Structure 1
């Protein structure tokens, strides 16, 4: 479904708008709203600290974090939580 400006596609427009209203950047809101599991209820995943670096890398790849191949496990966790 196109966003209100029509310039790009947002998979979950309601989630995107809610994230913007909560103060997320447009980039972060779009990345979350366009993820494959967009709109699904969370809470069943283990904490990132328990994930392997390879799993963190794949998640970072999925959400579009740049420079992921050159950063440590801790930096991947920080990037996933804060981007």
Structure 2
């Protein structure tokens, strides 16, 4: 069933199938529907990968978005939790 806030349902589902979060998939699907995927694709990729962040930076970000159990996670677990949020 299509959601009213999602402008490009096919793009949204494709991104969700690839493991993107609901928020990120909706943001990309809506931006590409209104501006075109080529323009959106050129604009992306400005933030460094979580793999390049320090553990302290990952912990801070996990705290900001409310990931539970973060205090007992190692760096790779934090990266996975952040990507899945």
Displacement of 1:65 in angstroms is 0.5
The residue number in structure 2 matching 1:75 is: 77
Number of aligned positions between the proteins: 59
Displacement of 1:43 in angstroms is 2.5
The normalised TM-score by structure 1 is 0.51
RCO (CA 8 Å, sep 6+): is it higher in 1 or 2?
2
Unaligned regions of 5+ residues in structure 1, if any? Answer: 1-13, 33-40
Distance 1:63 1:29 in 2: 14
Kindly indicate whether residue 47 of structure 2 is the aligned counterpart of residue 45 of structure 1.
Answer: yes
**Alpha-carbon RMSD:** 3.1
Distance 1:42 1:66 in 2: 28
Distance 2:77 2:46 in 1: 23
Which structure features the higher share of helix residues?
2
The normalised TM-score by structure 2 is 0.50
